[in-house]
Chain A
Amino acid sequence: MLSYIARRLLIAVPTLILVSIFVFVLQKLLPGDPALVLAGEERDPEMLEFIREKYRLNDPIIYQYVYWVKAMLQGDLGVSLRTGQPVTQLIADKLPVTIQLAFMAMIIAFVVGIPAGILSAVRKGTAVDYVANFVALSGLSIPNFWLGIMLIMLVSVHLGWLPASGYESPFVDPVRSFETMIMPAFVLGTALAATLMRHTRSAMLGVMKADYVRTARAKGLLEHVVVLKHAFRNALLPIVTLSALLFGELLAGAVLTEQIFTIPGFGKLIVDAVFTRDYAVVQGIVLCTAAGFILMNLIADILYFLLNPRMRSSL
C-alpha cells in the first residue's frame, strides 16, 4: 500500500516540475521587455530597475527559474501588480467561493447522472435509454454560458424567483447563499451530470454481463439488489476515477459560470487578471489548478486501489 502511494507520488514530481516550467515559460512568451510588462503603467526607471532586481531579470534564464521555484516552494507566488496583494492571499480568498460552487454542482451531477446512467443501462434499448442518452448528449453539447444566460432570462427576469447574480457566504446568510448559488451550480452541474451518466451507463453495461451478476440472478435475488449491490458496486470503480478527472472540467466550467453570474471566485479572478494584465495572478492560478489536478489524480488512484480488492491482493 505505502509503496504504491510512494510510486504514485514519485510520478507526480516530474509532472509538477514540467508544469512549473510551462508556467515559467509563459512569462517569456510576452513580447518586449518583461520589466516594462510587469511594471504595467509604471515607466519610472528606478521602478523598472527594482523589478529587474526583484525578478532577477538580468540573470541567466535558468537562475530566474530556480529563484522563482524557490520562492514558490515557500508559498510565495508573487504579488498582484494591480492590488499589491500577495497572489497566494488572493487565491486563498477566492477559493472557498469556487469550492462551494463546485461542491454543489458535483452533488447535482451525482444525484442526476448516476441514477440516470444505471436506469439507462438496465433498460438498454428502450425508450428510457434513448431519452436519457439524448438528454445527456444535449447536456454535453449545450454551452454552459448560454444555458446560464437562458436560465437568468427565464428564472430571474421573467419569473423573478432567484437573483441573477451576486454572492453571499453560507456562514453569513445560508438561505441567501443557497439562492444565489443554486442556479450557477445547476448550470455547472449539467455537463458533469451528462458525462457521469454516459460513463455510469457504459460501466454498468460492462458489469451486467459478468458472471457474478448472472450468479446473483440465478440465486433468485431481487433485480434491484442485483443491480445495486452486485453490479453497481463494481461499476463504481471507473466512476470514481472519472470523478477526479472531472475536476478539471469543473474548474474550467466555473470560470464561465462565475463570469455569467458575477460570482467572485477563482474563475472570475483569472479572467479579471487576464484583462488587467496581472500576469503573476494568471501564473499563480494556472499553477494552483495544475497542482490541484495532480493531487486529485493521486487521490483517485489511491481510492481506486482501496476500492478494488483485486489490486490490493495483487501486492
Chain B
Amino acid sequence: MSAATTAAEPAEDIIQHESRAWKKLKTNKSALFGFVIVIFFIVIAIAAPILPIPDPAATDWGAVRKPPSAAHWLGTDEIGRDILSRMIWGAQASLLAGVVSVFIAVLIGVPFGLLSGYFGGWTDQAISRVTDALLATPFLILAIALAAFLGPSLTNAMLAIGLSAMPIFVRLTRGQVLAVKTEDYVEGARAVGLTHVAIMARYILPNVFAPVLVQATLTVATAIIAEASLSFLGLGQQPPAPSWGSMLNVAKNFMEQAPWMAWWPGAAIFLVVLGFNLLGDGLRDALDPHES
C-alpha cells in the first residue's frame, strides 16, 4: 500500500512540472516566435488544397521565368509554374518529411533505448554497438546511400532520414533510463512485484518523455534540412511534385536569369527550420528542472 502511494508521487510531480514548464515556455519570446512560425507553415501546408492558388503543376508558356508581379506574387519558374503555389504545396512535402522521419526515429529508437538501459548486460552491449555503427555513418551519407540502393523517392528519403536519426533517440533514452532506474519509486515498483513491462511503461517512460520531446523538436529541424538536401541532390521528392529542395536544384541553373526562383524556397527552409530550432531550445529551457 505504502509502496503504491510513493509510486504515485512522481506522476503528479511530472504533471505539476509540465504546467510549470508551459508557463515558462509562454514567457519565452523566442520560443513563442518559433512556435508561431511552425504553426504558420503547418496551417498553409494543410490548407494548400483550399487556398485560392493556381495548380502547382500548371505550366504557362506565356509566363516563363517572370519576376514577382501582381499575377504571380513570387514569380514563375522555368516552365511558367506559379512559384507561390509550388512553395505552399512544397511545405507539405517538407513538413511531412520532417515529422514522419522523426516519428520513425522515435518509434524505433525509444523502445530500443528503454531495453538497452533497463536490462543492461548483453542486451545493452548489442544495442549499443549497433547504435555506434549507425552513428559512425554521417547522416547525409547514410541517407544518400539508402536512397541510392532503395531508389529515390520521398518515402525512401523519409525512411533513410528516420533510420539515420534513430541512434540519437536510443542513446538519449538509454541515458535517461540509467539515471532513473535506481530511483526509490522504481525499486518500490519492483518490490511490489510489477512486471518489467509495467515498470517501464508506468515509471520509466514518463521520465523519458521530456528530453525526447525536446530532441524530437530539434530533430524535425535537422530532418527538414536533410530532406531538402536529398531533394536538392535529386534523391528525395521527384519532379514534377513540388518540394523546396528540388525547386532549389532547378533554380541553381537560372541564377543569373531568374534569381527569385532561388530566393523563396531557401528562405522558407530557413524560416521553418529556425522555427523548430527556436521552439526546441525553448522547450529544453522550460523542461529542464535544473534551470530556474
Contacts and interface: CB of A to CB of B under 8 A. Distances in A.
B223 interface: no
Contact of B141 (A137, A157, A289): A289
A252 B232 contact: no
Interface residues of A, number: 51
A260 B229 contact: no
B13 interface: no
Nearest to A271: B233
B19 interface: no
B149 interface: yes
Contact of A252 (B132, B141, B269): B141
A149 B266 contact: yes
Interface string A111-147: 0000000000000000000000000011011110111
Interface string A241-283: 0000000110111011001100000000011011101010011
Contacts, number: 138
B144 interface: yes
B270 interface: yes
Contacts of A15: 129, 132-133, 136
B6 to A, nearest CB: 34
A54 to B, nearest CB: 20
A256 B255 contact: no
Interface residues of B, number: 44
B139 A260 contact: no
Contact of B255 (A11, A140, A149, A290): A149
A155 B269 CA distance: 22
Interface string B9-21: 0000000000000
Contacts of A251: 138, 140-141
B252 interface: yes
Interface stretch (A18-26, A40-48, A86-94, A180-188): A18-26
A300 interface: no
A277 B152 CA distance: 12
B274 A137 contact: yes
